[in-house]
Amino acid sequence: MPRYKLTVEYDGTRYVGWQRQANGHAVQEAIETAFEGFTGAKVTIFGAGRTDAGVHATGQVAHVDLAKDYRTDTVRDALNAYLRDEAVTILSAEVVPDSFDARFSARKRHYLYRIFNRRPPPAILKGQVWWVWTSLDVEAMDRAAKRLLGTHDFNTFRSAHCQAKNPVRTLDRLDVLKGPGDEVHIHASAQSFLHNQIRSFAGSLKLVGEHRWSEDDLVAALRSRDRKRCGPVAPPDGLYLTQVDYGAARAEP
Protein backbone atom coordinates (compact mmCIF):
# COMPACT_ATOMS: atom_id res chain seq x y z
CA MET A 1 0.00 0.00 0.00
CA PRO A 2 1.63 3.30 -1.05
CA ARG A 3 1.94 5.98 1.59
CA TYR A 4 1.30 9.62 0.72
CA LYS A 5 2.39 12.75 2.53
CA LEU A 6 -0.09 15.62 2.31
CA THR A 7 0.59 19.28 3.01
CA VAL A 8 -2.64 20.95 4.09
CA GLU A 9 -3.94 24.49 4.49
CA TYR A 10 -7.13 25.29 6.39
CA ASP A 11 -9.15 27.99 8.07
CA GLY A 12 -9.93 26.47 11.45
CA THR A 13 -12.82 28.83 12.25
CA ARG A 14 -15.60 26.40 11.35
CA TYR A 15 -13.94 23.24 12.72
CA VAL A 16 -13.71 21.63 16.15
CA GLY A 17 -10.02 21.09 15.48
CA TRP A 18 -7.87 18.76 13.42
CA GLN A 19 -8.84 15.50 15.11
CA ARG A 20 -12.11 13.75 14.31
CA GLN A 21 -14.53 14.21 17.24
CA ALA A 22 -18.11 13.31 18.09
CA ASN A 23 -19.08 16.89 18.97
CA GLY A 24 -18.60 18.55 15.61
CA HIS A 25 -16.95 18.71 12.19
CA ALA A 26 -13.15 18.26 12.14
CA VAL A 27 -10.49 18.88 9.49
CA GLN A 28 -9.46 15.22 9.60
CA GLU A 29 -13.06 14.17 8.96
CA ALA A 30 -13.36 16.54 6.00
CA ILE A 31 -10.27 15.10 4.32
CA GLU A 32 -11.19 11.48 5.08
CA THR A 33 -14.63 12.09 3.57
CA ALA A 34 -12.95 13.54 0.48
CA PHE A 35 -10.77 10.43 0.21
CA GLU A 36 -13.85 8.22 0.40
CA GLY A 37 -15.43 10.18 -2.44
CA PHE A 38 -12.23 9.94 -4.49
CA THR A 39 -11.24 6.31 -3.88
CA GLY A 40 -14.52 4.74 -2.77
CA ALA A 41 -12.81 3.41 0.37
CA LYS A 42 -12.64 4.58 3.96
CA VAL A 43 -9.16 5.64 5.09
CA THR A 44 -7.62 7.16 8.19
CA ILE A 45 -5.20 10.06 7.92
CA PHE A 46 -2.65 10.99 10.57
CA GLY A 47 -1.60 14.58 11.20
CA ALA A 48 1.59 16.15 12.49
CA GLY A 49 -0.26 18.25 15.04
CA ARG A 50 -3.69 18.13 16.62
CA THR A 51 -4.65 21.77 16.27
CA ASP A 52 -7.52 22.94 18.48
CA ALA A 53 -10.87 24.39 17.48
CA GLY A 54 -10.38 27.71 15.70
CA VAL A 55 -6.66 27.20 15.01
CA HIS A 56 -5.53 27.53 11.40
CA ALA A 57 -2.80 25.95 9.29
CA THR A 58 -0.80 26.97 6.25
CA GLY A 59 1.52 23.96 6.48
CA GLN A 60 -0.10 21.08 8.34
CA VAL A 61 1.26 17.68 7.30
CA ALA A 62 -0.55 14.35 7.25
CA HIS A 63 0.07 10.86 5.93
CA VAL A 64 -2.28 8.24 4.55
CA ASP A 65 -2.01 4.73 3.12
CA LEU A 66 -4.00 4.01 -0.04
CA ALA A 67 -4.89 0.69 -1.64
CA LYS A 68 -3.47 1.59 -5.06
CA ASP A 69 -0.99 3.91 -6.72
CA TYR A 70 -2.16 7.30 -7.92
CA ARG A 71 -0.28 10.17 -9.49
CA THR A 72 0.46 12.72 -6.79
CA ASP A 73 -1.17 15.56 -8.72
CA THR A 74 -4.26 13.39 -9.15
CA VAL A 75 -4.47 12.86 -5.38
CA ARG A 76 -4.10 16.60 -4.75
CA ASP A 77 -6.59 17.74 -7.38
CA ALA A 78 -9.20 15.05 -6.70
CA LEU A 79 -9.21 15.79 -2.99
CA ASN A 80 -9.53 19.51 -3.61
CA ALA A 81 -12.51 18.86 -5.88
CA TYR A 82 -14.25 17.00 -3.06
CA LEU A 83 -13.21 19.68 -0.55
CA ARG A 84 -14.61 22.58 -2.56
CA ASP A 85 -17.31 23.30 0.06
CA GLU A 86 -14.82 23.05 2.94
CA ALA A 87 -12.27 25.58 4.21
CA VAL A 88 -9.53 23.02 3.56
CA THR A 89 -7.04 22.80 0.68
CA ILE A 90 -4.47 20.12 -0.15
CA LEU A 91 -1.37 22.04 -1.21
CA SER A 92 0.65 19.01 -2.26
CA ALA A 93 0.77 15.22 -2.20
CA GLU A 94 3.92 13.13 -2.47
CA VAL A 95 4.82 9.45 -2.15
CA VAL A 96 6.92 8.69 0.93
CA PRO A 97 8.47 5.54 2.44
CA ASP A 98 6.36 3.38 4.75
CA SER A 99 8.62 4.50 7.60
CA PHE A 100 7.42 8.11 7.28
CA ASP A 101 5.02 9.18 10.03
CA ALA A 102 3.58 12.69 9.95
CA ARG A 103 3.69 12.97 13.73
CA PHE A 104 6.61 10.85 14.92
CA SER A 105 9.02 11.62 12.08
CA ALA A 106 8.72 15.37 12.71
CA ARG A 107 11.91 17.10 13.84
CA LYS A 108 10.50 20.59 14.30
CA ARG A 109 7.15 22.36 14.20
CA HIS A 110 6.79 26.04 13.37
CA TYR A 111 3.89 28.24 14.46
CA LEU A 112 2.85 31.84 13.90
CA TYR A 113 0.61 33.81 16.23
CA ARG A 114 -0.94 36.96 14.75
CA ILE A 115 -1.99 39.88 16.97
CA PHE A 116 -3.99 42.71 15.39
CA ASN A 117 -2.91 45.78 17.34
CA ARG A 118 -5.06 48.86 16.73
CA ARG A 119 -7.95 50.63 18.43
CA PRO A 120 -10.68 49.81 15.85
CA PRO A 121 -11.54 46.09 15.64
CA PRO A 122 -10.81 44.07 12.49
CA ALA A 123 -13.54 43.49 9.96
CA ILE A 124 -11.85 41.53 7.18
CA LEU A 125 -9.47 39.66 9.52
CA LYS A 126 -12.04 38.79 12.17
CA GLY A 127 -11.47 35.17 13.24
CA GLN A 128 -7.96 35.22 11.75
CA VAL A 129 -6.17 37.34 14.38
CA TRP A 130 -6.30 38.26 18.06
CA TRP A 131 -7.53 41.83 18.35
CA VAL A 132 -5.63 43.74 21.04
CA TRP A 133 -6.58 47.41 21.08
CA THR A 134 -4.07 48.58 23.70
CA SER A 135 -0.69 49.67 22.30
CA LEU A 136 2.00 46.97 22.58
CA ASP A 137 5.74 47.44 23.11
CA VAL A 138 6.98 44.89 20.57
CA GLU A 139 10.65 45.25 21.50
CA ALA A 140 9.90 44.58 25.18
CA MET A 141 7.88 41.52 24.21
CA ASP A 142 10.72 40.18 22.07
CA ARG A 143 13.33 40.70 24.82
CA ALA A 144 11.12 38.87 27.30
CA ALA A 145 10.43 36.07 24.81
CA LYS A 146 14.14 35.35 24.54
CA ARG A 147 14.19 34.52 28.26
CA LEU A 148 12.02 31.47 27.51
CA LEU A 149 14.38 29.92 24.96
CA GLY A 150 16.06 26.62 25.73
CA THR A 151 15.02 23.58 27.73
CA HIS A 152 12.62 24.21 30.61
CA ASP A 153 9.76 22.74 32.56
CA PHE A 154 6.92 24.65 30.85
CA ASN A 155 4.16 23.48 33.18
CA THR A 156 3.10 27.13 33.71
CA PHE A 157 2.39 27.53 30.01
CA ARG A 158 0.15 24.57 29.26
CA SER A 159 -3.49 23.66 29.55
CA ALA A 160 -4.81 21.94 32.65
CA HIS A 161 -6.07 19.29 30.22
CA CYS A 162 -2.67 18.72 28.59
CA GLN A 163 -2.06 14.97 28.32
CA ALA A 164 1.73 15.12 27.96
CA LYS A 165 3.41 13.15 30.72
CA ASN A 166 6.50 15.36 30.68
CA PRO A 167 6.21 19.19 30.71
CA VAL A 168 9.86 19.65 29.73
CA ARG A 169 10.32 20.99 26.21
CA THR A 170 13.13 22.65 24.27
CA LEU A 171 12.08 25.93 22.71
CA ASP A 172 14.25 26.75 19.70
CA ARG A 173 12.66 30.01 18.57
CA LEU A 174 10.37 32.61 20.11
CA ASP A 175 10.51 35.90 18.22
CA VAL A 176 8.11 38.82 18.51
CA LEU A 177 8.23 41.04 15.44
CA LYS A 178 6.29 43.90 13.91
CA GLY A 179 4.20 42.39 11.15
CA PRO A 180 2.57 44.05 8.15
CA GLY A 181 0.15 46.89 8.82
CA ASP A 182 -1.17 46.77 12.38
CA GLU A 183 -0.04 43.21 13.10
CA VAL A 184 2.39 41.87 15.68
CA HIS A 185 3.73 38.40 14.92
CA ILE A 186 4.99 35.78 17.37
CA HIS A 187 7.08 33.03 15.73
CA ALA A 188 7.65 29.83 17.74
CA SER A 189 9.62 26.72 16.79
CA ALA A 190 10.30 23.48 18.68
CA GLN A 191 10.26 19.77 18.11
CA SER A 192 6.98 19.59 19.99
CA PHE A 193 4.76 21.81 22.12
CA LEU A 194 2.48 21.29 25.08
CA HIS A 195 -1.26 21.83 24.75
CA ASN A 196 -1.98 25.59 24.60
CA GLN A 197 1.72 26.42 25.08
CA ILE A 198 1.96 29.01 22.32
CA ARG A 199 -1.38 30.62 23.20
CA SER A 200 -0.17 30.79 26.80
CA PHE A 201 3.05 32.46 25.65
CA ALA A 202 1.05 34.97 23.60
CA GLY A 203 -1.22 35.90 26.51
CA SER A 204 1.68 36.38 28.90
CA LEU A 205 3.77 38.32 26.37
CA LYS A 206 0.80 40.64 25.81
CA LEU A 207 1.09 41.61 29.49
CA VAL A 208 4.75 42.44 28.90
CA GLY A 209 3.83 44.48 25.82
CA GLU A 210 1.35 46.47 27.90
CA HIS A 211 4.03 47.02 30.59
CA ARG A 212 1.87 45.18 33.11
CA TRP A 213 4.58 42.51 33.42
CA SER A 214 8.34 42.86 33.32
CA GLU A 215 10.77 40.34 31.83
CA ASP A 216 11.46 39.13 35.37
CA ASP A 217 7.74 38.60 35.97
CA LEU A 218 7.63 36.32 32.93
CA VAL A 219 10.65 34.36 34.12
CA ALA A 220 9.19 34.09 37.63
CA ALA A 221 5.99 32.64 36.13
CA LEU A 222 8.07 30.10 34.18
CA ARG A 223 10.07 29.07 37.22
CA SER A 224 6.96 28.70 39.39
CA ARG A 225 5.80 25.77 37.21
CA ASP A 226 2.30 26.82 38.30
CA ARG A 227 -0.43 27.21 35.65
CA LYS A 228 -2.14 29.81 37.85
CA ARG A 229 0.83 32.12 37.27
CA CYS A 230 0.29 32.16 33.50
CA GLY A 231 -1.20 35.22 31.87
CA PRO A 232 -4.60 34.92 30.17
CA VAL A 233 -4.49 32.32 27.41
CA ALA A 234 -4.80 33.98 23.99
CA PRO A 235 -7.71 32.91 21.76
CA PRO A 236 -7.19 30.35 18.97
CA ASP A 237 -8.02 32.85 16.22
CA GLY A 238 -4.45 34.08 15.71
CA LEU A 239 -2.63 30.73 15.78
CA TYR A 240 -1.29 29.04 12.63
CA LEU A 241 0.71 25.85 12.13
CA THR A 242 2.97 27.05 9.31
CA GLN A 243 5.54 24.31 8.71
CA VAL A 244 6.74 20.90 9.87
CA ASP A 245 10.34 19.78 9.33
CA TYR A 246 11.28 16.12 8.94
CA GLY A 247 14.34 13.96 9.50
CA ALA A 248 15.58 11.02 11.54
CA ALA A 249 14.65 12.28 15.02
CA ARG A 250 11.42 11.28 16.71
CA ALA A 251 9.12 13.78 18.36
CA GLU A 252 8.95 14.05 22.13
CA PRO A 253 6.01 12.20 23.70
Mark whether 84 and 174 lie in a shared domain.
no
Alpha carbons within 13 A on the beta-carbon side of 1: 8
Mark whether 116 and 78 lie in a shared domain.
no
CATH number, domain of 87, equals 3.30.70.580
Sign of CA dihedral 133, 177, 221, 129: positive
Q: How confident is the model at residue 199 (pLDDT cuts 50, 70, 90)?
A: very high
Active site residue 175: no
Mark whether 223 and 111 lie in a shared domain.
yes
Quick check: 70 and 64 in contact, CB under 8 A? no
How many structural domains are present in the chain?
Answer: 2
Where a domain ends, among 69, 96, 123? 96
Mark whether 126 and 230 lie in a shared domain.
yes
Residue 102 lies in a domain: no
Residue 251 lies in a domain: no
| 182 Cβ neighbours under 8 A, 6+ residues apart | 116, 117, 118
pLDDT at 248 over 70: no
- Residues pairing with 110 in the sheet: 189, 243
Q: Spot the catalytic one: 52, 69, 101, 172.
A: 52
pLDDT at 252 over 50: no
Mark whether 203 and 115 lie in a shared domain.
yes
Mark whether 123 and 78 lie in a shared domain.
no
Mark whether 71 and 133 lie in a shared domain.
no
Domain coverage including residue 19: 3-96
Mark whether 118 and 26 lie in a shared domain.
no
Mark whether 131 and 239 lie in a shared domain.
yes
Mark whether 113 and 177 lie in a shared domain.
yes
For residues 158 and 150, give the distance between their C-alpha atoms in angstroms, rounded to a whole number.
Answer: 16
CATH number, domain of 124, equals 3.30.70.660
Residue 101 lies in a domain: no
Residue 65 lies in a domain: yes
For residues 164 and 231, give the distance between their C-alpha atoms in angstroms, rounded to a whole number.
Answer: 21
pLDDT digits (tens, 9 = 90+) for 17-76: 999 988 899 999 999 999 999 999 999 999 999 899 999 999 999 999 999 999 999 999
Mark whether 120 and 160 lie in a shared domain.
yes
Instruction: Please state at what angle helix 215-224 crosses helix 138-146, rounded to 10 degrees.
Output: 40
pLDDT digits (tens, 9 = 90+) for 202-217: 999 999 999 999 999 9
C-alpha to C-alpha distances, 237 to 55, 82, 113, 130, 169, nearest whole angstrom: 6, 26, 9, 6, 24
For residues 186 and 138, give the distance between their C-alpha atoms in angstroms, rounded to a whole number.
Answer: 10
Buried b (16+ CB within 10 A) or exposed e, 58-94: bbbbbbbebeeebeeeebbebbeebbeebebbbeebe
Q: How confident is the model at residue 251 (pLDDT cuts 50, 70, 90)?
A: very low
